[in-house]
Amino acid sequence: EREREREEAVVSTQSTGFRIVKKVEITGDAYTKVQFSLTNPAEYNLPVELVAIPEGHPVLKTLTGEVILPSREIVLAARDDTTQFDPESPGGQFDDDPDVVVSRRLNKVIFTVKVKRVEGAEEGPVRIGFVLRY
C-alpha cells in the first residue's frame, strides 16, 4: 500500500514537469544545494514563486529537512513547438539570480534550493516541502 502511494506521488510530480535533477547526499548540519527542473507546458511565459507551506498544515509534521527557497520568482519560458529543433536557449531574455537558476533550455529551467536535515530528525531520506505558486 505504501509503495503504491509513493509510485502515485512520483507519477503526479512527473506529469507536472517538476523533478529532482540529481539525488544528493545531505549530511551534517550544513546546507546542501539540490537541483530541480521545472518545465512550462503553457504557450506563454509563466512566473513561478516557491513559498513556504502555510503554518498549521498537516504535512509540516512529516518534514525532516529545512529548505531555503529563492526570494524572487522564476519565469519559465513559453512552450514553443517550432523551436524544438533550435539549439539556441532563451536564457538571455530573463533576469535570473545566478545563485538560483543553473540553466535554461527552451521552456525548461534548472534551479537550486538549499536543504539541510532538521536537527534530531530520523535517518533516511530528507523530506522537504514547499508550494509552487503560479
Q: Find the helix or strand (DSSP H, E) in which 47 lies.
A: strand 46-51
Residues 75 and 61: their CA atoms lie apart, in Å, by 31
- pLDDT of res. 87: 55
- pLDDT of res. 50: 94
Q: What is the pLDDT along the chain (134 residues), one digit of tens a residue?
A: 444 444 444 434 444 588 999 889 888 789 999 999 999 999 999 999 999 999 999 999 999 999 999 999 999 999 887 776 665 655 458 899 999 999 998 899 999 999 999 988 888 889 999 999 98
- pLDDT of res. 109: 95
Residues 35 and 21: their CA atoms lie apart, in Å, by 5
- pLDDT of res. 121: 86
Residue 48's contacts (CB-CB under 8 Å, 6 or more residues apart) are 38, 73, 74, 75, 76, 132, 133, 134
- pLDDT of res. 85: 65
**Ordered strands of the 131-133 beta sheet:** 74-76, 46-51, 131-133
